[in-house]
């Protein structure tokens, strides 16, 4: 029996466990990436381990999220990251050089390598044939320290892409179809592996759009083979020597196989407020559009922006529309400029933003009140744009361009013009001047770490108490994202100051939560959260676990969890529990007092866990799905405590 490409790469990197789907395994990590919204805490955690230099083949620190510098906090964090990179042997991609996933694809990614990053869209690297996984910052810090990365050995789902995309239909429409099929929940512990004859026509940037948004399905990662398209891309990046052919065996066996016929696809959109609320663009026609944002790590490549430039050449933005473009990297911007396409975009009325995440994380370009915003980014969660009543739709660059011209949601096939053909450069203009390579080891050892007043030490938890007793401080429903738990946007400037950042936990759900939780904590009681399906979707930001931990949250009881957030909860000593019987969710109310007696003994002895609702006089069984390694972390109060 042949092997999947996933199995080939993971087995080559296996550092613990046996390749049996569903079992915990450990893998060696070749590369890491961090970004400034999560990286500051990751390097503070690495620093606390007293290891002089990273032990990976390559680690890169990107400054791409909080580049809007109002106040001292973001600039101080960037200074800290520069000094940490110098001291610990890390590449630094400076502010303005581009979004981590786009730049890593261009300059560092290699087929067959393993990569983890403190950003949930790290799977973008799967477009190059890498096992690229999003993780919490502490897991990345541990990988930089030479520790293996632990994950559930995946079930592999084959997605065959057959045929060829029709005009005006693009890679974004492919991944939106995947989201329509698989949704944003129920895919934990899976990897999407792509194949089919359509791969002969899909460039690496198009594949990157697909692997990037696979994260919205909740899978561990997504993976394309390394083939002639991969070689062409790496040659254009001046990195032909990094190419190696990689593919699944023809007789590989998959847990499931799904076939998508590209010829049948039409322009699609994800409606507010979830990436899996899929409809055709035709169904949305004539809805007035107030804003169009082109860019983010999903659709900001040279190909994406040239396509839009060709559509808009000689036209002007509709009077109602604010049109924003954010190139994915400095390389993309320079090549657009050299080839004349930037002039066409600016002549159309486009507003040029920095090569950064920007609008995608809500730290700039928030829409007007109740505004309709069409975005080529990957997430449209409630309030993520920075405007809570915004109606954000996810679309392809082609659909975005159509709305720029018409001022309404318009199927781009109705533009009555030939579909623009884009020829990728045989060789990109490359300038790595904004990437600072690691300092020699002796210089790094002598380097000083520079801190600002907003930067504190990473907080540690206390060990798991003998019993948990406290209030259901909050009860929430399904699909609670990390944006719901701890907001992005302008609040992220406090990411290095946990006591301050914790003031905003669940701000968009219940503005009184943080104050209520702090009062309960200060009385010596515990906080518990009750949730529905797919708790912890979205971003990898570990602050969605650190800040609740700081507020005294000891356990979250949910119908189901997403992968990265589960790992983050365990890393910081919060117990993730699932209802044995989901109907018990309906019997519990916010404000109920819950008790779990003898919790340490239960976990140590692998005994059934019974939760008592003292308020209602009832009890129910909850499940803790923990490996022995994870049990040790929970008992100690988190991973950092085990290293003390």
DSSP conformational letter for 437: P
Partnered with residue 259 across adjacent β-strands are 160
Helix (H, G, I), strand (E, B) or coil at 67: coil
Tell me where in the chain the CATH 3.20.19.10 domain(s) lie.
468-642
pLDDT at position 644 is 64
What is the spatial distance between Cα 239 and Cα 221, in angstroms, rounded to a whole number? 24
SS3 291: strand
Going by C-beta distance under 8 Å and a sequence separation of 6 or more, which residues neighbour residue 604?
Answer: 631, 635
pLDDT in tens, 430-489: 999 999 999 999 999 999 999 999 998 888 899 999 999 999 999 999 999 999 999 888
At 638 the pLDDT is: 95
State yes or no: pLDDT of 69 exceeds 90: no
- For 496-518, how does the pLDDT look when each residue is reduced to its tens digit (9 = 90+)? 999 999 999 999 999 999 999 99
Q: Which strand ranges, in their side-by-side order, compose the sheet holding 149-152?
A: 14-16, 24-27, 149-152
Q: Residue 291 pairs with which residues in a beta bridge?
A: 322, 373
Q: Directed axis angle between helix 204-214 and helix 100-107, to 10°?
A: 140
The CATH fold of domain 5-264: Aconitase; domain 3 (3.30.499)
**What number of CA atoms fall less than 13 Å from residue 264's CA on the CB side?**
6
C-alpha distances (whole Å) from 415 to each of 25, 146, 401, 420, 489 are 51, 54, 10, 12, 35
Residue 67: pLDDT band (50, 70, 90) is: confident
Written as one string, the DSSP assignment of 116-149 is: EESSTTGGGGGGGT-EEEE--HHHHHHHHTTPPE
Average of per-residue pLDDT across 70-87: 94
Alpha-carbon gap, residue 43 to 63, rounded angstroms: 13
How is residue 539 written in tokens? 């971003």
Mean pLDDT, rounded, for 41-62:
96
Question: How many angstroms separate the first and last alpha carbons of the chain?
Answer: 46
pLDDT > 80? residue 196: yes
Question: What gap in Å lies between CA 481 and CA 489, rounded to an integer?
Answer: 15
Classify domain 268-413 by CATH number: 3.30.499.10
| Cα–Cα distance measured from residue 531 to residue 557, given in angstroms and rounded to the nearest whole number | 6
Token digits for 458?
């990473």
Q: Which residue has the tokens 């007092």?
A: 593
β-bridge partners, 311: none
Class in CATH terms, 468-642? alpha beta
Tokens of 82: 């520069």
Contact 558, 623 (CB under 8 A): no
Band the pLDDT of 362: cuts 50, 70, 90.
confident
Over residues 249-282, the pLDDT tens digits come to 999 999 999 999 999 999 999 999 999 999 999 9
Q: Please state, in angstroms and rounded to a whole number, the distance separating the CA atoms of residues 574 and 401.
A: 45
Supply the DSSP string of 488-522, one letter for each residue: -GGGGGGTT-HHHHGGGTTTTT-TTHHHHHHHHHH
Cα 351 to Cα 393: distance, rounded to the nearest angstrom: 20
579-604: burial string, b at 16+ Cβ within 10 Å, e else: beeeebbeebeeebbbbbeebeebbe
The Cα 588–Cα 530 span in angstroms is 8
- What per-residue confidence (pLDDT) applies to 458? 86
d(CA 89, CA 389): 44
DSSP H/E element including 407: none
Q: What is the DSSP letter of 3?
A: -
For residue 163, give the DSSP letter.
Answer: S
Is 558 in a helix, a strand, or coil? Answer: strand
Cα 209 to Cα 305: distance, rounded to the nearest angstrom: 13
> Could you give the percent of the chain with pLDDT greater than 70?
100
> pTM for the full model?
0.95
> HSE-up of 199 (CA within 13 Å, CB side)?
21
Residues 606-629, mean pLDDT to the nearest whole number: 97
Tens of pLDDT, residues 295-353: 999 999 999 999 999 999 999 999 999 999 999 999 999 999 999 999 999 999 999 99
Q: Treating both helix axes as pointing N-terminal to C-terminal, what angle do 137-144 and 36-48 enclose, rounded to 10 degrees?
A: 50
pLDDT at position 382 is 82
The answer to whether 342 and 313 are in contact (CB under 8 A) is no
pLDDT at position 492: 84
Determine contact, residues 138/571, Cβ cutoff 8 Å.
Answer: yes
Residue 543 half-sphere exposure toward CB, CA atoms < 13 A: 31
| Residue pLDDT, tens place only, 133-189 | 999 999 999 999 999 999 999 999 999 999 999 999 999 999 999 999 999 999 999
Domain with CATH 3.30.499.10 in the chain: 5-264, 268-413
Share of the chain above pLDDT 90, in %: 91
Contact 370, 290 (CB under 8 A): no
């Amino acid at each position: 029996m042949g092997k999947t490409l996933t199995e080939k790469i993971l087995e080559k990197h296996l550092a613990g466990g046996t390749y049996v789907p569903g079992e915990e395994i450990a893998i060696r990590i070749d590369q890491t990436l961090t970004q400034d919204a999560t990286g500051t805490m990751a390097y503070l955690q690495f620093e606390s381990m007293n290891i002089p230099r990273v032990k990976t083949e390559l680690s890169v620190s990107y400054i791409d999220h909080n580049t809007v510098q109002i106040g001292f906090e973001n600039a101080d964090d960037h200074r800290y990251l520069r000094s940490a990179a110098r001291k610990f042997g890390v590449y630094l991609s400076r502010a303005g050089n581009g979004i981590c996933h786009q730049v890593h694809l261009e300059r560092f990614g290699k087929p067959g390598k393993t990569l983890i990053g403190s950003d949930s869209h790290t799977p973008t690297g799967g477009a190059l044939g890498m096992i690229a996984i999003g993780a919490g910052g502490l897991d990345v810090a541990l990988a930089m320290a030479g520790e293996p990365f632990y994950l559930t050995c995946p079930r592999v789902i084959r997605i065959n892409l057959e045929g060829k995309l029709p005009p005006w239909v693009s890679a974004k429409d492919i991944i939106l179809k995947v989201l329509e099929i698989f949704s944003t929940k129920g895919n934990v512990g899976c990897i999407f592996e792509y194949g089919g004859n359509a791969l002969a026509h899909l460039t690496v940037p198009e594949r990157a759009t697909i692997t990037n948004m696979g994260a919205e399905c909740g899978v561990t990662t997504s993976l394309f083979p390394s083939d002639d398209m991969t070689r062409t891309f790496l040659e254009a990046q001046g990195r032909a020597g990094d190419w190696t052919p990689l593919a699944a065996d023809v007789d590989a066996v998959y847990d499931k196989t799904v076939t998508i016929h590209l010829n049948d696809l039409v322009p699609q959109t994800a409606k507010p407020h979830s990436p899996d609320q899929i409809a055709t663009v035709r169904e949305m026609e004539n809805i007035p559009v107030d804003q169009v944002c082109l860019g983010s790590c999903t659709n900001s490549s040279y190909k994406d922006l040239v396509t839009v430039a060709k559509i808009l050449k000689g036209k002007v933005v509709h009077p109602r529309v604010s049109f924003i473009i954010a190139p994915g990297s400095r390389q993309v911007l320079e090549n657009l400029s050299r080839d004349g396409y930037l002039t066409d975009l600016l002549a159309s009325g486009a507003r040029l933003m920095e090569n950064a995440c920007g609008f995608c994380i809500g730290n700039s370009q928030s829409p007007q009140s109740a505004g309709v915003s069409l975005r080529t980014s990957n997430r449209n969660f409630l309030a993520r744009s920075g405007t809570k009543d915004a109606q954000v739709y996810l679309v392809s660059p082609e659909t975005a361009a159509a709305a720029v011209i018409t001022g309404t949601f318009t199927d781009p096939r109705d533009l009555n013009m030939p579909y623009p053909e884009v020829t990728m450069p045989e060789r990109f203009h490359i300038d790595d001047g904004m990437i600072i390579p690691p300092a020699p080891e002796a210089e790094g050892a002598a380097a000083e770490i520079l801190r600002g007043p907003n930067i504190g030490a990473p907080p540690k938890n206390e060990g798991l108490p003998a019993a948990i007793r406290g209030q259901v401080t909050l009860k929430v429903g399904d699909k609670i994202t990390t944006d719901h738990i701890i907001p992005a946007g302008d609040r992220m400037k406090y990411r290095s100051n946990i006591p301050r950042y914790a003031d905003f936990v669940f701000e968009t759900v219940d503005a009184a939560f943080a104050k209520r939780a702090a009062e309960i904590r200060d009385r010596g009681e515990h906080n518990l959260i009750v949730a529905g399906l797919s708790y912890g979707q979205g971003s990898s930001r570990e602050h969605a676990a650190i800040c609740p931990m700081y507020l005294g949250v000891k356990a979250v009881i949910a119908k189901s969890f997403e992968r990265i957030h589960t790992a983050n909860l365990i890393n910081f000593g919060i117990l993730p529990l699932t209802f044995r019987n989901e109907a018990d969710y309906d019997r519990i109310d916010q404000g109920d007092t819950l008790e779990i007696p003898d919790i340490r003994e239960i976990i140590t002895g692998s005994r059934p866990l019974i939760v008592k609702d003292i308020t209602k006089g009832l009890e129910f069984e909850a499940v803790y799905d923990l490996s022995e390694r994870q049990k040790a972390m929970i008992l100690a109060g988190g991973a950092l405590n085990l290293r003390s």
